[in-house]
Amino acid sequence: MARAFSELIVGGVLFAPFVTYLLTALVVIIVLRPLLHVVGFAKMFSHTAIAELSLYVAILGLLILLF
Amino acid sequence: MVAKIAEQPFTVANIPLDSWSFAIRVWLAMILALFVSFWLQLEAPATAAVSVGIIAEPTRGQALDKAGFRLLGTVVGVTASIAITGLFSQTRDLILAAFAVWIGICVFAANVLDGYRAYAAVLSGYTVGLIAIQQIDNPQHVFESGVARGAAIVVGILSMAVVSTLMSAPDRQPRLMVQLAAIRRRVREYACATSHEASGNSTTFVTLLREIVALRPEISSVALESSSGSVRSVAARSAVVGLVAELQAARISQRRDVEIEASAWAARELLRRDEEVRQDLLALRSARWPLRAWRAPLNRSYKNAAESGVRAVIWFAIAATFYTWAGWSAASASLFLVALITGLGATTPNPRGFTVGTLVGAPIAIALTGILEFIILNGADAFPVLAIAMAPFMIGAAVLMKSQSPLWSSLGRVNLMFIPVILAPSNPQTYNPQSFLFTSFFLVAAAALLLASQTLIPPVSNDKRRMRLLADARKELQEPATHQNGEAPEEAMFRDASRIGQFLAAGGAQDSRALAEMLACFDQAAMLRLCDAKLMQLAEGPLAPLADEARAAIVKRDAVALRSIALRLRQPSPPKDSIEADVAACLVLTSDILDRGGGVDSPREAS
């Protein structure tokens, strides 16, 4: 069954629903950053950058799946 | 043996491996950006490729930092375009005048900022040229064109971010740590050398100061590198400010002919500063908050910036008048390029040199693009062919950009930026020789016209810049030592150091007299502020009246009174490292510096 995604409308300009998810995931990552620092996320992985990108993709996927 | 291997990086064809990997990353990111833009059918796919060329920085943090500021600058620029088009609709000359003023404002902002912030300022200036001026005949398209550009830039930034993450682009932070540790070692060596040799080596001092201040814009890039980046950035900033304070303490401790207590205090102060920097470096290494977070304020020379802004307005007005008078319908594209070169030149110490560089680099970029478009591609319409054909040009330009020589490096950057601009990849590619010729002609014409205006009205001369900086330093010294907006003495010291950095960037190393006065002002201001901060510690206790008296003497720059107050502080013979003894030593050193530096009332031969 197809899911209906609502479009983001800013001042009459329509944005693709995916843009909303991209931005929301970015906001979630920014909010999570202090927490990740406390947990020591950066020290857990040899390639921190890839780990953080993967976390972003995981959050993006979850957002699309759940909302 | 091991050290020898570590010093020599692995090279391919005499070029270090990290230059190659950087170049391949840039090429891949550009191809990815083009592919995504074609796939999404964006209106301005070339902008995505150009964005990658512009944010091509060797480390991930720097690229992301510049990308963020590019986005911010574009948003401001598009907003300004809409405002200017809306206010002066149907009036061509007023639009051009408003644009000239806007360019001036942006150049002013670029001159009071540094690093990628300055770039964002000029970008918001020339974005107006790209959007409002190129659409001067059909203003209803301004918004669409702004959105198209914004979307293309976002695609370019995301491509660069993904490619540098997946290909493990190096982080700035490990290298920053090595640089800071090396500077700390050299500061200690400087302190040891000065305590052995009587003559202070101010060349070493100035070199170290310049190197420390030059790290400032790069520190904020560290914040974007990982989730611990912002903490590391704060620690690095504190370390940089601490290093300036340590350097200054080393300079104070070199004074041989002061009394023994004062000299002992100076040595203790140096050790304390060194320990603080060590703690900050440890915090940077282990991503902890430093003991105290210092800001690193930048000296802002508003007069120099305003004059640069006014001159940029005049250059642009001359070019706009010429194009209006010539009456070419396609001249708006060239006018945009005038704004682009003016803006980017404002972020370099020598704007006219930048224009000359563009005038030399542009024909090379044009020739290379001609070869790429009409000999190699020549009508090809398959994407893989475009990707392969672009490889040697983009990789070559990026390798050049990483070169040590400034000439080759700037040539590489110009090519990395202008090849995608002139090629203007689109789907389908038009292969129109006429538009290629027009773009090339307008690029060269814009650089030549700007150079002509800059010859007619030269940029603010280095002499004038230096004189203003020196006057600022003197003026600040004359004002009583006040805590401006809660600035710690160390932070104010860093601001003064950044002023010396600007002074050196304006050719200050040759002007030894003015440099000596600049350093004298730096020493006095730093010592007066430290003294004031020390006196604050006495403000609560029984010695408060004496502290007030000392403060009044500082305001009057009365060295004799300071010495007598120091004597009175030592009357009850306090223990060696009590606050009173520290303050007394500080006062003695201050009075010594006031005596020897000649103070602000010394003959002003340097000007």
Could you tell me if B183 and B243 are in contact, meaning their C-beta atoms sit under 8 angstroms apart?
A: yes
Mean pLDDT computed over B242-251: 88
Inter-chain touch A42–B227, beta carbons under 8 Å: yes
The residue-averaged pLDDT of A45-63 equals 90
Q: Is the pLDDT of residue B106 over 90?
A: yes
Task: State phi, psi for B16 to the nearest 5 degrees.
Answer: -60, 150
A42 touches chain B (CB under 8 A): yes
**Band of the pLDDT at B603, cuts 50, 70, 90?**
very low
**Residues, chain B, total?**
607
Query: Tokens 């006031």 correspond to what residue?
Result: B594
- Strand B11-12 with A8-10, pairing: unpaired
Tell which residue, A8, A40, A44, has the closest CA to residue A24.
A8
pLDDT of residue B577: 62
How many other β-carbons are positioned within 10 Å of the β-carbon of residue B238?
A: 27
Return the C-alpha torsion angle B470, B472, B473, B474, nearest 10.
90
Nearest to B106 by CA among B133, B124, B131: B124
Per-residue pLDDT reduced to its tens digit, B500-549? 998 988 887 888 888 888 888 888 888 888 888 888 777 777 777 777 77
Q: What is the DSSP letter of B539?
A: S
Across B87-122, b (16+ Cβ under 10 Å) vs e yields ebeeeeeebbbbbbebbbbbbbbbbbbbbbbbbbbb
Give the pLDDT confidence of B476-507 residue by residue, as tens digits. Answer: 887 755 556 677 888 888 988 999 998 988 88
Candidates B157, B155, B146; CA nearest to B36 is: B155
Using the Cβ of A23 and the Cβ atoms of chain B, whether some distance falls under 8 Å is answered with no
Q: Which residues contact B509 (CB under 8 A, 6 or more apart)?
A: B206, B515
Closest Cβ opposite residue B227 in set A13, A37, A47: A37
Residue B44 corresponds to which amino acid? A
CA distance B64 to B223: 10
Q: Does B226 contact chain A (CB < 8 Å)? A: yes
Instruction: Give the one of A13, A33, A50 whose C-beta lies nearest to B227's C-beta.
Output: A33
pLDDT, tens only, B164-192: 888 888 888 888 999 999 999 998 888 88
Average pLDDT, chain B: 84
Distance from CA of B68 to the nearest CA of A (A): 13
| Chain B closest-CA separation from residue A40 CA (Å) | 8
Strands B11-12 and A13-15: unpaired
The nearest CA of chain B is from the CA of A61 a distance in Å of 17
Convert the pLDDT of each residue in B251-282 to its tens digit.
887 776 677 777 788 888 888 889 989 999 99
Confidence (pLDDT) at B1: 39
What pLDDT score was predicted for residue B482? 58
pLDDT, mean of residues B337-350: 88
Contact yes or no for A49 and B168 at CB 8 A:
yes
B83 has pLDDT over 50: yes
pLDDT in tens, B201-216: 678 888 889 999 999 9
Burial letters B330-354, b for 16+ CB under 10 A, else e: ebbbbbbbbbbbbbbbbbeeebeeb
Residue of B226, B227, B285 for testing the chain A interface, max A β-carbons within 10 Å: B227
DSSP labels for A38-61?
HHTHHHH-SSHHHHHHHHHHHHHH
* Per-residue pLDDT, B507: 83
- pLDDT of the residue at B7: 55
pLDDT score recorded for residue B592:
79
Q: Report residue B7 as tokens.
A: 């010093």
Q: Give the closest of A13, A32, A52 to B226, CB-based.
A: A52
**Is the CB of residue A41 less than 8 Å away from at least one CB of chain B?**
yes
Mean pLDDT along residues B109-128: 90
Distance from the B507 Cα atom to the nearest Cα atom in chain A, whole angstroms: 40
- Reported ipTM: 0.82
Q: How many helices (H) and strands (E) does chain B have?
A: 24, 2
Enter the tokens of residue B397: 């330009």
Say if the Cβ atoms of B287 and A47 lie within 8 Å: no
User: Alpha-carbon distance B524 to B533, whole Å?
Assistant: 14
Q: Give the rounded percent of residues in chain B with a pLDDT score beyond 70.
A: 93
Specify the range with the lowest mean pLDDT, choosing from B170-184, B227-241, B279-293, B552-566. B552-566
- Report how far residue B121's alpha carbon sits from residue B551's, in angstroms, rounded to the nearest whole number: 41
Contact A48 B230 (CB under 8 A): no
Contact indicator for B543, B549 with CB cutoff of 8 Å: no
Tell me the C-alpha distance between B149 and B136, whole Å: 16
Q: Which residues, in sequence order, are CB contacts of B258 under 8 Å at separation 6+?
A: B266, B588, B589, B592
Percentage, residues of chain B above pLDDT 90: 20
Q: How far A3 CA lies from chain B's nearest CA (Å)?
A: 22
Count Cβ atoms within 10 A of the Cβ of residue A6 and give its class: 0-12 exposed, 13-18 middle, 19 or more buried. exposed
User: Per DSSP, what are the bridge partners of residue B45?
Assistant: none
pLDDT band at A1 (very low <50, low <70, confident <90, very high): low
pTM: 0.86
Q: Which of residues 228-247 of B touch A (CB under 8 A)?
A: 228, 230-231
| pLDDT of amino acid B604 | 37
Pairwise CB contact (< 8 Å): B60 & A49 = yes
Q: In Å, how far is A59's CA from the nearest CA of chain B? A: 15
Q: What is the pLDDT of residue B548?
A: 79
Q: Quick one: average pLDDT of B330-338?
A: 84
Q: Mean pLDDT over residues B574-592, rounded?
A: 75
- Residue B460 near residue B304, CB atoms below 8 Å: yes
A42 with B228: Cβ contact below 8 A: yes
Q: Quick one: pLDDT at residue B483?
A: 56
CB pairs A-B closer than 8 Å: 41
